[in-house]
Amino acid sequence: MAELFIVDKKRNMKLNTLRYLDRKLGIPLCNSLYFFKKIFFRYKRIKFDRKKVKKILVIKIWGMGSIVLASPLFKNLKENFPEAEIWFLTKSGFESIYSNKFFNHTETIKLKGFLSAVWNFLKLIVKFRRNKFDLVIDLEIVSRYTALLSYLSGAKIKVGFEITGQNKDKFYDFKVLYHESKHISEMFLNTLKTLGLETVPRNPLPPVFANDTEEAFILKKYGVKKPYVVININASELAYQRRLAPEQFSLIIKNISDFFPEYSIILIGSKEETNYVGGFKNVFLPEIRNVFDLSGKTNLSELFFIISEARLVISNDSGPAHAASSFGVPLIVFFGPESPTIYAPQGGEKTIFYSRIHCSPCISVYKDKKIKCQFDAECLTGIDVGKINKKVLEYLKNNRDKNHRNNFKEI
């Protein structure tokens, strides 16, 4: 199995380098800039006046799932400022999740390494200062990079998260206290509440895809027939340790194929995850004909369409799980290193498998979300596959003829 993880390690090294630099360079930079600010700029209490807000920047770079969970904030922001011009800064590739549904303009950033991060940082500062934003909302929890970007953007009002020991909140005019006992969607909404704005709690809104006719072509192209189940064996480079073991996934898939041979089984994944997914299929499922590997073969719009039409989605704690939940598609999701208290999918019919062992959750914002597992991923390997299979069969028996997307109503 070692050959399946080569690409993963390369991507993980890049992210760990960025995390390391964000802490080792970000903290002294934040402290130095704050010291400079205290000496040369007289403190002035900032008052928020919503009538003066004409241009807004929202920053959320990492995590497709987190962007989906932030959609209630996006909707409320649009409702509070219907005439404002709203910009969105995110990682390259995520700009199509909501397209122009909430934003007038989307700016993307590529973080391939230290030099690209610095170069993009400088370019963005110039662009943001030229555009003269009235309000910046930084939704990144631990990033000093985005805190510095928010401050140097020149925006009149800056909102972000306050977390003990992270040395980033000193640049925000209005702060939201991070709580590990609250769901992240609620904390995102609090960025508006801290400004004294009214918000309406709602479930995440479904991502955007073009239209059924265009997107359905991808199924026909690869010979996938309905009904089908979508399986996501991946987790992003933010924390690969969130993945259920390949051996466990193989037992789940073989069980579906045995009891529901009329179902197609779709394996999904990004281009970067193609080797992992392809290797998994070749090693564990070489003779199962109703398994289709679509990893790296779909864009986000096509992926969202495929998820929206599924009878069931089975996923690790990652973006596709949150997309499925937003469409109201039945979902089985596995949590281990991360806490479902903070990141559980919102909306739709779902079952969360979470062992709650002594060391879980181990992902912490106080450690920059880095994981050093000493217990061989016991939080995930300890999940009973028999119980998972029982729940899978229950869902599939009850959902043979349902189209859950047709039942979804946007609030």
Q: If we measure between CA atoms, which residue out of 324, 76, 97, 307 comes closest to residue 207?
A: 97
The pTM score is 0.90
Give whole-number Cα distances, 71 to 139, 179, 187, 201, 222, in Å: 12, 19, 12, 11, 32
The pLDDT value recorded for residue 3 is 44
Side chain identity, residue 34 = Y
Q: Which CATH architecture has domain 212-402?
A: 3-Layer(aba) Sandwich (3.40)
Which two tokens mark 271? 């281009």
Residues in a beta bridge with 230: 266, 313
The pLDDT value recorded for residue 41 is 67
Asked whether the domain spanning 212-402 has the same topology as the one spanning 8-193, the reply is: yes
Beta strands 55-59; 312-316: pairing state? unpaired
The pLDDT value recorded for residue 5 is 44
Measured distance CA(73)–CA(67) in Å, rounded? 10
Q: List pLDDT tens digits, range 208-264.
A: 886 766 667 889 999 999 999 999 999 877 777 889 999 999 999 999 999 999 999
Which two tokens mark 62? 């990492």
Q: If we measure between CA atoms, which residue out of 331, 343, 346, 397 comes closest to residue 369?
A: 343
The pLDDT value recorded for residue 214 is 67
Residues in a beta bridge with 135: 56, 157
The CATH superfamily holding the domain 8-193 is Glycogen Phosphorylase B; (3.40.50.2000)
Which two tokens mark 387? 């119980």
Q: If we measure between CA atoms, which residue out of 276, 274, 268, 222 comes closest to residue 245?
A: 276
The number of beta carbons lying within 10 Å of the beta carbon of residue 388 is 21
Per residue in 55-88, is it b (16+ CB within 10 Å) or e — as a string? bbbbbbbbbbbbbbbbbbbbbbbeebbeebebbb
User: DSSP string covering 154-197, please?
Assistant: T-SEEEEEE-TT-S-GGG-SEEEE--TTS-HHHHHHHHHHTTT-
Which two tokens mark 74? 């996006």
Side-chain half-sphere CA neighbours of 376 within 13 A: 2
Q: Is 407 helix (H, G, I), strand (E, B) or coil?
A: helix
The pLDDT value recorded for residue 402 is 60
Helix (H) or strand (E) holding 370: none
Q: If we measure between CA atoms, which residue out of 298, 313, 297 comes closest to residue 265?
A: 313
Q: Where are the domains of the chain?
A: 8-193, 212-402
* Average pLDDT score over the chain: 87
DSSP 241: G
The pLDDT value recorded for residue 337 is 87
Measured distance CA(34)–CA(68) in Å, rounded? 33
The pLDDT value recorded for residue 368 is 66
Counting Cβ atoms within 10 Å, is residue 409 exposed (0-12), middle (13-18) or buried (19+)?
exposed
Chain center to CA of 122: 25
The pLDDT value recorded for residue 90 is 96
What does each of the 411 residues of the chain score in pLDDT, given as a tens digit? 444 444 455 555 566 666 767 777 777 777 777 777 767 666 667 889 999 999 999 999 989 999 999 999 999 999 999 999 999 999 999 999 998 899 999 999 987 777 878 888 899 999 999 999 999 999 999 888 899 999 999 999 999 999 877 778 888 999 999 988 899 999 999 999 999 999 999 999 999 886 766 667 889 999 999 999 999 999 877 777 889 999 999 999 999 999 999 999 999 999 989 999 999 999 999 989 999 999 999 999 999 999 999 999 999 999 999 999 999 999 999 998 888 999 999 988 999 999 888 877 877 776 767 777 777 788 998 999 999 999 999 999 987 656 555 455 555
The pLDDT value recorded for residue 206 is 94
Q: Evaluate the CA torsion angle 68, 71, 73, 78 in order and state its sign.
A: positive
Which two tokens mark 201? 């709690």
Measured distance CA(3)–CA(391) in Å, rounded? 32
Measured distance CA(74)–CA(14) in Å, rounded? 30
Q: Map tokens 């924390």 to a residue.
A: 239
The pLDDT value recorded for residue 7 is 45
